Amino acid sequence: MTQFVKARWLAIVAITVVLCGAGSPAFAVRFDPRSTSSDALSQSVGQNTSSASPEQQQPKAYTLPPDKEARAIAYAHSRHELYFLDFLFTTVGLILLIQLGVGPWLRDWAERISRRRFLQAVIFAGVFFILLGLLGLPAAAGSHWLARYYGQSVQGWASWFWDSIKGGVVGLILAVVLVWLFYGLVRRSPRRWWLYAWLAALPILIFLIFVEPLVLEPLFFRFTPLASTDPQLADALERVVQHAGQNIPANRMYLMNASSKLNALNAYVTGIGASERVVVWDTTIAQMTTPQILFVFGHEMGHYVLHHIRNGILFGAGVLLIFLFAGFQALHWALRRFGGVWKIRGADDWASLPVLIFILFIFNFIFTPIDNAFSRHIEHQADQYGLEVVHGIVPDAPQVAAQSFQILGEVDLDEPSPSTVVKIWFYDHPPINERILFAQTYDPWDKGDSPEFVKQ
């Protein structure tokens, strides 16, 4: 998930009853510590500070040795198959929950135990979201198995399970509170709850994005100020910041101990306002030279300077409004036609939650290509910003970027030539090959043009 996808995933939590599971058909109610890795917000960069030979000046495509290429293709195909199997499993599971009357049964049980709405929400939502988490468990475990088998993860199963428990507990607490608030809105405004839920979701979303780097991410990884762990690198990054005429304080640059669980390379921007920061994985620092890391930082700085988190929130807010209104219409249609058979009293009935989630789960699945297109757009902008901001600082920056994308692809086992359909449906970043070719051919300075983002 890119930072935008992460923001929309937090919007799901903020309006759990409406978008639970968006961004992944796994439907697990949890904060996944691997999300920033599947997000892969940065897609790292850079190599080689020496002058390039004539051969190096020719654009070179992303390639892998035959054995590694076969392995990368097998890994990609396995993940794609798991994605659709998970979607099918979750879809069938939700339909069964609805047809078997699990919602009405949980509602009746909760109402027998207490007349207090909040306690009913704890009982109903607590049990129901645990069931949803169990629906997503096979795919989550399968994804972790694939990551271990293909060398992307070194995290043991006990550690993975403990992370899942921690994320599940946090997600479950949020889900219970938000379900309670949501159905309070539905009861008070049967015709406009979709609008009020959207208005309520926005500040909750912003709050969750704000606290994520402060409270949530440290549950899974350790973060240390980059200036205290690698002051020379911090100084080099500060020169890039000054070169761009920006102000990113050293106390907003962090190192994450990704190597405790992962082999993949990454960096990302997280938080908002006073909590916004750039995070670099220690795996990236271990496997890349200083010029390469400067380009990685330049890419992440692009997200920071170009306000991609803010833009993602605005885009996600628009999508959320459409989903809520469409969900309102579809829910009322479904209840008019099948409510009696399903034993659901109305939209304000706890038992309507599985139907609402199923409707918006399908909406989100259909929306995936648009989501990915937006994400690829902002990632391309960040690539462009990274090239512009290190121009004049990193010698032969285009080749540094291209060679480092090659390194990234080799480490992360990126598929060399994904089909157009695969790109549209699965890629929230431009494919590595496109990024390599762009890095080698983007040169406004040689044409006498002014760069788009970094005016020098």
Q: Point out the residues that are catalytic.
A: 300
Whole-angstrom Cα distance, residue 452 to residue 207? 32
What are residue 278's phi and psi, to 5 degrees? -105, 130
Three-class secondary structure of residue 158 per DSSP = helix
| DSSP letter assigned to residue 281 | E
> Which pair of structure tokens corresponds to residue 77?
């195909």
Show the tokens assigned to 179.
């379900």
Enumerate the β-bridge partners of residue 191.
Answer: none
CA atoms of 278 and 169, how far apart (whole Å): 27
What is the distance, to the nearest Å, from the Cα of residue 376 to the centroid of all Cα atoms in its chain? 13
Q: Please state, in angstroms and rounded to a whole number, the distance separating the CA atoms of residues 117 and 184.
A: 9
Residue 386 CA to residue 294 CA, distance in Å, equals: 9
91: helix, coil or strand? helix
- Interacting residues of 78 by C-beta distance below 8 A, sequence separation 6+: 146
Q: Select from 201, 183, 197 the least CA-distant residue to 14.
A: 201
Whether 309 contacts 272, CB under 8 Å: yes
